[in-house]
Amino acid sequence: MDLPKLAIAALGGTVSMQARNAGEGVIPTVSGETLLASLPELSTLARVTVETLGLLPSASLDFEFLLSVLSWASFQVKQGAVGVVITQGTDTLEESAQFFDYLWPHDTPLVLTGAMRSAAQPGADGPANLLDACRVALADGSRQRGVQVVMNGEIHRANSVRKTDSLALQAFSSPVTGPVGLLIEDCVRYLRPPVQRAVLPLPQQTTQKVALLEASLSADTLLLENILALGYDGLVIAGFGAGHVSQRWATNIERIAEKIPVIIATRTGSGSTAQATYGFDGSEMDLIRKGALMSGFLCPRKARILLWLLIGCQRQHELTRYLKGNIQHRCD
């Protein structure tokens, strides 16, 4: 039987972490090859190639490194891989998934996974998550779905998944929409069909800077007042509620939006920004009049990734079009 080819890349994270000495905190030490050795069953499902591209906590990943991982993944597809799996830390897993999803041009599945328990802990979830991710990457139904995250028996779309608990095993969810699929008795079961994605070209530059600031009660405006002088090329605000800020912040945002793109998202963790409900100074209607754009269901962190990529490929003028699919419009 000619088994399909599957490619796995290990970047580090909790799934690869152990303590070198008793009493010390865990650090990334376990290679992708070692992770694979814990899954003998996988050899009956696919011809697997595995590479350790990094041993980093995910907080230390950056866009340029992720671009190199993306290049590696595309090469694996050209070499005949029917699916690609990437393991990394969970702290930035949702952001890496969204970054890859904006740039992944293939019908071939790209699946990200990780672990909430280190490799040394009893009941470590890394091996099970990796095996589940491989099953998803190999499934025919996973084609044309872009980038997905597989954790704890659930399959999530890149643009909706979020880490919603710091330490719990069930740390990942997709607010509002729920998971797009499940693994049931080792079988991949999708709950919804694939949706059309907007794929961006690779960025031509990577030096652009996009700031992310969160609105908070009685917050000062010092950082806002200096965003332009600091050389930022874009700004994302994690606003109150449905996309709101204070009057003082709104005044500064109007000045900033004349020079660079400004996106307003919600800091709540679930739901969409509004478009035409509130009219007070600092409301979504006021901020739109002042030149800001609302992110809709796109969370602040993912809105920052979109803006960084659009600036990098000189398409920031198309920001409204790319945000359109994430905005909750009023009924006609």
Greatest Cα-to-Cα distance within the chain, rounded to the nearest angstrom: 67
Tell me the one-letter amino acid at 190: Y
* Average pLDDT over every residue of 299-317: 97
C-alpha neighbours within 13 Å on the C-beta side of residue 297: 15
Instruction: Report the pLDDT averaged over residues 69-98.
Output: 98
Residue 41 counted as domain residue = yes
Q: Which domain holds residue 144?
A: 5-190
221 lies in the same domain as 176? no
Q: Are 109 and 238 part of one and the same domain? A: no
The CATH number of whichever domain residue 248 belongs to comes to 3.40.50.40
HSE-CB of 46 using CA atoms within 13 angstroms: 25
Run of H or E residues at 56:
strand 47-56
Count Cβ atoms within 10 A of the Cβ of residue 34 and give its class: 0-12 exposed, 13-18 middle, 19 or more buried: middle
Q: pLDDT tens digit string along 117-132?
A: 998 888 899 999 999 9
- Number of independent structural domains in the chain: 2
Residues with Cβ within 8 Å of 49's Cβ and at least 6 positions away in sequence, in order, are 5, 6, 7, 8, 76, 81
Q: Which residues contact 234 (CB under 8 A, 6 or more apart)?
A: 208, 209, 210, 211, 260, 261, 262, 263, 304, 307, 308, 311, 316
Beta bridge partners of 265: 238
Note the pTM of the prediction, 2 decimals. Answer: 0.95
Q: Are residues 144 and 226 in the same domain?
A: no
Mean pLDDT lowest among 18-32, 53-67, 160-174: 18-32
Looking up residue 147, the CATH number of its domain turns out to be 3.40.50.1170
Q: What does the pLDDT average to over 63-69?
A: 98
Q: Are residues 157 and 299 in the same domain?
A: no
Give me 7's structure tokens.
Answer: 């490619």
